[in-house]
Amino acid sequence: MLKEIGIETEFITLGQLLKMTDTISSGGMAKWFLSEHEVFVNGEAEDRRGRKLRPEDTVSIPGTGEFRIVVAEGMSFDAD
Could you list the beta-strand ranges (E) of the chain.
2-7, 12-13, 40-41, 44-45, 52-53, 58-61, 65-71
Q: What is the pTM of this model?
A: 0.88
Query: How many domains does the chain contain in total?
Result: 1
Residue 76 domain flag: no
User: 10-residue block means of pLDDT along the chain (80 residues)?
Assistant: 94 96 93 96 97 98 96 66
pLDDT value of position 75: 61
**CATH label of the domain that carries residue 6:** 3.10.290.10
Residue 78 lies in a domain: no
